[in-house]
Amino acid sequence: MLKAAALALERFPDVNATFRDDRILRFNPINIALAVDVQGELVAPVVKDCQGRDIDDLAGAADALIRKAREKKLSPEDYSDGTFTISNLGMFGVDDFYAIITPPQSCVLSVGAMRQVPVLEGDTVRPGTRIKLGLGVDHRVLDGAKAAQFLDGLRDLLEHPDALLNSGAAHGS
């Protein structure tokens, strides 16, 4: 999800923005906060500079931050400069929910549980997997049409995971 969101934010830079001093400012770089449950407390450490990074690099960075969070070893730097948040309650079996935007960010992605469901293709029913995504937005920054385009782009990336595996070079290269 982190890689898909990073790619979608690269493709839809208006989503990676804020409203400040009566104007819209785009963030650069893409810094994605991950909501993490730590013994009943929600924290959101930030994976920095997500643009252009490959999936393994992003996964390693996220794992390291989540481990630090669970060990209660996060520093203020680990929380700073988020430009977009992913909140996943799907791991708790929650199908859909409304995540809360963290200012100065203007968007938060809500990720529900993955469910196995029957999928109808023509006259054939086959097993499929579905996940509900939601996007909370600050309408001063992003209207519903642009939010829908971002979600559609994210859906397309998730439905075609080869795009996630074949994009991005190793960070720092």
Domain containing 13 equals 2-165
For 24-57, the pLDDT digits (tens) are 999 999 999 999 988 888 899 999 999 999 999 9
- Beta strands 36-38 and 107-121 are unpaired
With respect to residue 19, please indicate whether it lies within any of the assigned structural domains.
Answer: yes
For 78-107, the pLDDT digits (tens) are 999 999 999 999 988 999 999 999 999 999
Which positions are annotated as active-site residues? 139
Round to whole Å and give the CA distance between 81 and 31.
7
With respect to residue 172, please indicate whether it lies within any of the assigned structural domains.
Answer: no
Round to whole Å and give the CA distance between 130 and 30.
27
Counting the structural domains of the chain, the total is 1
Place of tokens 């993955």: 114
Q: What does DSSP assign to residue 172? A: T
Residue 123: give its domain's CATH number: 3.30.559.10
